[in-house]
Amino acid sequence: MKNFKSYLSVFVILIGLSTVAQEANSPKFGKGLFNLVGKDSTWTMKVGARMQFLSSNTWNIDGNGDFGKNESNALVRRARLKFGGFAYSPKLTYKIELGLSNRDIGKANKYTNDAPKYILDAVIKWNFYKNFTLWAGQTKLPGNRERVISSGNLQFVDRSKLNSNFNIDRDMGLQLRHHFNLGEKFLVRDMFSISQGEGRNVTTGNEGGHQYTARVEILPFGKFAGKGDYSGSDLKREVTPKFALGATYNFNDKAVKDKGSQGSYNENTTVAEGFDFANVTTVFVDAMFKYKGMSFMGEYANRDTNENALGFVKKGNSINTQIGYLFKSNWEVAGRYTNVKFNGAGFSTNYYTLGASKFIAGHKLKVQSDISYADKTGVKTGGLEYRLQFDIHF
C-alpha cells in the first residue's frame, strides 16, 4: 500500500509537470521527457525517465561438470526518474534520481527507518571558483570507474563481480572536485570527499565514524568525446587514441558494515556500542582506452582492515578486464574476465563473460545480451548464466 501511494504521488507530479511543459520545446529522444525554464531564466529543470527489462537463465555446475536445474527470472531491473538543472545561477546545479523498481529500492531496515530507499541521488553542485566545484548531498562517491559509469551506459548487461563485491557506491556528505591542464591536452582531475560512512538513505544516526575518499585521474591525450571515459563502448568512435588512468583511496573510520560503507551491519549485543567496529581501507586503480570503435577497461580493487580477531570484514582483492569492438552497423561484441578472491575463503572465483549488443539509439535505446561462466577454484564448482536486457531512456 505504501508503494502504491508513492507511485501514485510521483504519477500525479509528472502529470502536473507535463501540463506546465506543454508550451516548452520538446527535446529530442534521449534528452529528457521535457525541459522547463523559468520565465526570468533563473532556473531550469530537465525531467527524464529510464527503464531496463531483464530476463535471465542460470544453471549451477557441480564438481563433476554436470548442469543442475535451470532457474529463469524476468523483472524490471531498473525504473527511474531523473531531474536536473540549475537554480539561481548556472554555477549552481542539482540532480535528483529516484529508483522505483524493487531492485532499485533495496531492502529496508531500522537504520533507514524501515522505509524503502527510493532516493538514489539528491545533490547540489556549486562551481564557486574557477575549476573548483563543491558537491553536497547524497550521490556516488569518486570510487571505481565501473561504478561511477551510469547503469544505463554499461558495455554489458550489468557491472562485473568486482564492482558488486568491492564498490563504495553512494553516501551522504561533501565532495570537492577540481581539474587543471598540463600543456594543451593533458588533463588532471582531483577529487576529495568526506561522508557519513554507511551508504545511502540512512536515517538513524551515524553508528560508526566517517569515511574519506580521494581520487586522481589523468587523461594524457585530452578529453574523450561525449564524456566517453565514463561510458561503456566506443559509441563516438574516437578519431585519435584516448586514455584515462585513475586511482582511488578510501578510508572508513570505525566501519560497522562488512564491506565498509556497504554490505550488512555487524551488530554485537555483547558490547555497549552494539556493533563491531573496524577501520577499513579500499583501493582502486582503473584505466579506460578508446579508439575507432575499440574499447578497453581494466580495474583492480583491494579491501583491507586493521581488525584481525573478529574477522567480519570481507577482505580481499579483485581484477576486471573487458574489451569490445563496435562495428559500423552499431553491433558490438565484447569479452570480460573477472577474478574475485577473499582472504581466508580458500578459493577464488573466475568469471568469463561474452556479450553482444545492438545500439539502436546509442545507450538510450539498446538490446544487450551476455553469457557468463563462473569457475570456483578449490571447490571445483561453478555456474552458467545467460541474460537478455532491453533499455529505453527518455
More confident residue, 200 or 218: 218
Q: Which CATH superfamily is domain 2-393 in?
A: Porin (2.40.160.10)
The strand ranges marked E within the chain are 34-37, 44-61, 71-87, 89-99, 119-129, 132-140, 170-182, 186-195, 211-219, 242-255, 257-259, 262-265, 278-291, 294-305, 316-326, 331-342, 348-359, 365-376, 381-393
Which of the two residues, 132 and 307, has the higher pLDDT score? Answer: 132
Closest listed residue to residue 214, CA positions, set 178, 185, 259, 162: 178
Out of 111-115, 264-268, 307-311, pick the least confident.
Answer: 307-311
Per-residue pLDDT at 29: 86
Averaged over 267-276, what is the pLDDT?
Answer: 78
Residue that has been written with the C-alpha cell 577454484 in this structure:
377
- Answer yes or no: is pLDDT of 136 > 80: yes
207 touches 111 (CB < 8 A): yes
Per-domain boundaries in the chain: 2-393
- HSE-up of residue 349 (Cα within 13 Å, Cβ side): 16
Residue 3 pLDDT > 90? no
Q: What angle do CA 51, 361, 320 make, to 5 degrees?
A: 70
Q: Residues 299-322: what's their mean pLDDT?
A: 88
Classify the C-alpha dihedral 155-159-162-166 as positive or negative.
positive
Q: Which residue's C-alpha cell is 535528483?
A: 96
Residue 144 pLDDT: 97
Q: What is the mean pLDDT of the chain?
A: 90
What are the φ and ψ backbone dihedral angles of 388, each rounded to 5 degrees?
Answer: -135, 130
- Cell 568512435, residue located: 237
Higher pLDDT, 42 or 110: 42
182, pLDDT greater than 80: yes
